[in-house]
Amino acid sequence: MTGDLIVFDGECVLCSHFFQFMLRHDTLQRFSFATAQSGLGQELYRKLGLPTDAFETNLVIFDGQTYQRLDAFAAAMRALPGPWWLLGLCRFLPGFVKDPLYHLVARNRYRLFGRTETCLVPGSDIRARFLDWEPMQDKTAP
């Protein structure tokens, strides 16, 4: 796999908003995407020793480096044109500040922001930016 990639929880409203934000502001289309629930997402989480059923971090692969937690957000912001790179400065926060802050939001994200029962189904123009497009199965189907 080459290029920059964002892997996000396709059922998390906060994570989906992050994905949509990146679509709007990644005007150079630097990033490709995959959901954590996809085959590629599952493989990457396994390789990093992360759970494949509870996604408490997005993954951002940027310039050949894999980032997790707040560092993933910072890496994505650094890649955007315009003033967004300023948000990338959060990577310089000490670990004892940024890790607990990130985990607090991550553990409570469904309660705070909600959860969808189905994954976003992007149009063909956006779907082309997904590396491992697999429509999610409807969880309500028998």
User: What tens digit of pLDDT does each residue of 25-49 get?
Assistant: 999 999 999 999 999 999 999 999 9
**What is the distance between the alpha carbons of residues 13 and 72, in angstroms, rounded to a whole number?**
17
Longest CA span, the chain:
48
Question: Do the beta carbons of residue 72 and residue 60 sit within 8 Å?
Answer: yes
**What is the distance between the alpha carbons of residues 83 and 105, in angstroms, rounded to a whole number?**
24
Q: Which residues have CB under 8 Å from 41's CB, separation 6+?
A: 7, 34, 35, 59, 132
Which secondary-structure segment (H or E) carries 61?
A: strand 59-62
The pLDDT-based confidence of 135 (bands split at 50, 70, 90) is very low
**What is the distance between the alpha carbons of residues 61 and 63, in angstroms, rounded to a whole number?**
7
- The model carries a pTM of 0.79
* Residue 29 or residue 142, greater confidence: 29
Residues facing 137 on adjacent strands: none
Q: Nearest 10 degrees: CA dihedral of 68, 112, 119, 129?
A: -40
Q: For 120-135, what is the mean pLDDT?
A: 63
In this prediction, residue 3 carries a pLDDT of 76
